[in-house]
Structure 1
């Protein structure tokens, strides 16, 4: 065995020289210039960065494939150049081994073993292919051409290329779990039931928040044309939104409550609808319309269709009990929560993500927003269900949201009876570094700093002074304690069955 190991380097060197002689005997031609140009294009990863930039223009899996390819290529390049080129010094082929017109000039000065070009090429192509197999197959000949070009131009021995390619493949496999492909979201399910038909809006009272995100001067007139028999009331600056909505819901002859406004306004209307046993018609009048989207009425046409047919479903409602103010003058609030609540840096994360989303797409926007938010943010100390934590984020969703990481986007079921509790903690050593690494590698959902829980009751108290609470986008400072619970099937809302 020892004899075989001692002879192995010599045999490898002999085989390398035979293969290089075979390449040297190839006739000259345009292919020499092609391989020289291809090899130069891959210097310092320029070729792969360029391809990734083009792929990133296509949102979804194609963009994720580009990111995974770059991560794998970066790992392969680092391992090759920092580790193996130091451990395995080797002279590169000499000019006499290849025709002078084919030999690369100037010759690289680093160790020949292993080939960094080959490692990066294979890592990028395989990394892309793990997310988009078709793109990976299309890139395979390019990667193979780059690897071969290093032998054709005399920059490497064939065994250097083989070893570098193996490193690239290993890097792609190692990073496979760093940037996992998200599993498909569950199908949307609604607990359907019948609600009063509202032909031309008969029996419908609509409250319009004039401060809502998409409000315009003609909003009320436009809705009146769509629902000519409905009662419509605008709520302006300085008016009590809750009182005005309650006034609309309690008018004689009203059998359904409609609301035009943002998620905070919709939550207030939901509280009135639940109190007076009225079905709620959510009209997409806010900036983001989270609940309207989840309810199946993201467009005015869908809302009109459901109302005219009496098609509806039931949803759970979050009940939020808030204690705020000074100890000698406390204020107690009872709120309804349709979507989410948060404490800590989550509101800043959402704001940044939504600003970046049109240009980058949802997944990549979430990563960039996460980095920007937590690079300079500070954790908050909170007592959650009696346990003290230092937290970057405390997020509570009314219902199970997907994906199961730091950037939940979709809620397929509105009546699942749970609160979706997510905590990203700073209790662990090197908390900020671990957080940013999890974001970079796409492993936030499985990281030790992420805690995912489903429950039907949550209590939160500040650990070092009053906290700032956001419920359905409405911010409340000076909160001393808050309790969340689930009211199952409390709300009936119009939703088209199709």
Structure 2
């Protein structure tokens, strides 16, 4: 390099140092200005708030309060906020604090009443508290803008408290907050929000608008714990008729409602919604679905989560047409809105129902998985596409299921005309085969499992006594089993974006 080149490099380096020094001087100047200014009420509040945020305790408490509202969106917002916080905290503590060794501010200009009892010993840049606050608030807002707006002022106060108490320079706080926001968006890339996977608002359907719910009869399965939602629905749609009934009277009440209503409504889990859809199809009525059971896959994939969204769709007449799956055997016919399966899964469903009333839903699910997968059994044998196949599991989804980041699959289109068929082949080690199929992508093919999208599927020589599960219900089948689609057969209300 020539003299001119070396001189130019030294000049550039000197300029960069000068700019950095001016930034650092301005940063210290802002810190000292904050320290010298008296803020009414802040001396009693901000130090306590800063201590409360130690180790994320404040944010775990806020997450618990949000989740206590008992709405699906609020629970997801709380979980996403905590997940974003965890990612931000891990990044700051493993990378951020070790990359820039900036000393903590001198406390000479900070009044004693503001100082924390225990001063932090880690480096100052960036602020971990600010990163956690911003990550939590951003994570909550990505899932629920309303809850995000409620949490944002608290997050801002925590970030401010770190400068006010003298433990961070303003730049530490700003960079920490930026890293927290980035962590929340990174978490969203790994685990997309439900709004990112909302099914398309098509095909649009003609459906009556029901001002204040006039013309709607909503049948509520009281066994699904939906009484609170029924009360909320009465408040949102005062002219709707709400009928609560026990499971044994559900079919009769749905039939009675269908003969009188302009729109048939149902509140319950997937099994309850299946029964209502079957009756709505028979009477050629649009269906209004309000999730209220343990499993609400159809309602959530449709985009209906709460009373407010459904009420808005009913009053505006916003509706779409969706596909319906149908199975037919030598003994019976039925429909499915979510999934239909043969093999191990129906046994899991039956075993889970056996224990759920005694130990609860999730423990029953774990216990049933252990009991079924440990049992000594022969694979199911079924003949389709001209060949006899030993199977541990045959799953058919009403619509294609897509993996969402690291999350399990969801449907983004409820009118694609396809059955999403997954097969886990028979052989040794069924638990290993089932686990590998669950972890693999939806279209992965291997010696253990395969997947294909087809409009119909016909199986023959199904062994007598074979269980078939559909939308959480279980029945016995034998001989020939046919699965097919009824494209865009059902009109359902859903809130439009």
TM-score range (shorter-chain normalised) is: 0.5 to 0.7
Matched, 1:288 2:267: no
CA deviations 1:191-224 (Å, max 9, x no partner) are 99xxxxxxxxxxxxxxxxxxxx99xxxxxxxxxx
- Within 5 Å, give how 1:4-83 maps onto structure 2: 4-7=15-18, 9-27=20-38, 30-58=41-69, 59-83=71-95
Shift in CA distance, 296/459, structure 1 to aligned 2, threshold 3 Å: closer
* Preserved CA contact (<8 Å) 2:162 2:173: yes
In 1: Cα distance, 2:25 partner to 2:381 partner: 67
Q: Which has the larger radius of gyration?
A: 1
Of Structure 1 and Structure 2, the greater helix share is in 2
Shift in CA distance, 3/369, structure 1 to aligned 2, threshold 3 Å: farther
Secondary structure, counterpart of 2:112 in structure 1: coil
In 1: Cα distance, 2:274 partner to 2:169 partner: 62
Shift of 1:132: 2.5
Matched, 1:180 2:188: no
Matched, 1:336 2:353: no
In 1: Cα distance, 2:466 partner to 2:65 partner: 44
Shift of 1:355: 10
Secondary structure, counterpart of 2:96 in structure 1: helix
In 1: Cα distance, 2:121 partner to 2:110 partner: 18
What is the aligned partner in structure 1 of residue 149 from structure 2?
A: 137
> TM-score scaled to structure 1, two decimals?
0.55
Shift in CA distance, 430/133, structure 1 to aligned 2, threshold 3 Å: farther
Equivalenced residue count is 365
* Preserved CA contact (<8 Å) 1:12 1:159: no
Shift of 1:146: 0.6
RMSD of aligned alpha carbons: 6.0
In 1: Cα distance, 2:273 partner to 2:192 partner: 27
Shift of 1:28: 6.7
What is the aligned partner in structure 2 of residue 162 from structure 1?
A: 174
What is the aligned partner in structure 2 of residue 222 from structure 1?
A: none
* Preserved CA contact (<8 Å) 2:400 2:416: no
Shift in CA distance, 100/400, structure 1 to aligned 2, threshold 3 Å: same
* Preserved CA contact (<8 Å) 1:284 1:297: no
* Preserved CA contact (<8 Å) 1:118 1:168: yes
Farther off after superposition, 385-394 or 85-94 = 385-394
Unaligned runs of 5+ in 1: 193-212, 215-257, 267-282, 304-314, 322-332, 439-443
Unaligned runs of 5+ in 2: 1-11, 208-222, 225-248, 256-265, 287-322, 493-497
Shift of 1:129: 1.7
In 2: Cα distance, 1:369 partner to 1:407 partner: 22
Select 1:113's aligned residue among 125, 129, 143.
125
Matched, 1:318 2:326: yes
Shift of 1:72: 1.6
Shift in CA distance, 126/187, structure 1 to aligned 2, threshold 3 Å: same
Shift of 1:26: 1.4
What is the aligned partner in structure 1 of residue 482 from structure 2?
A: 484
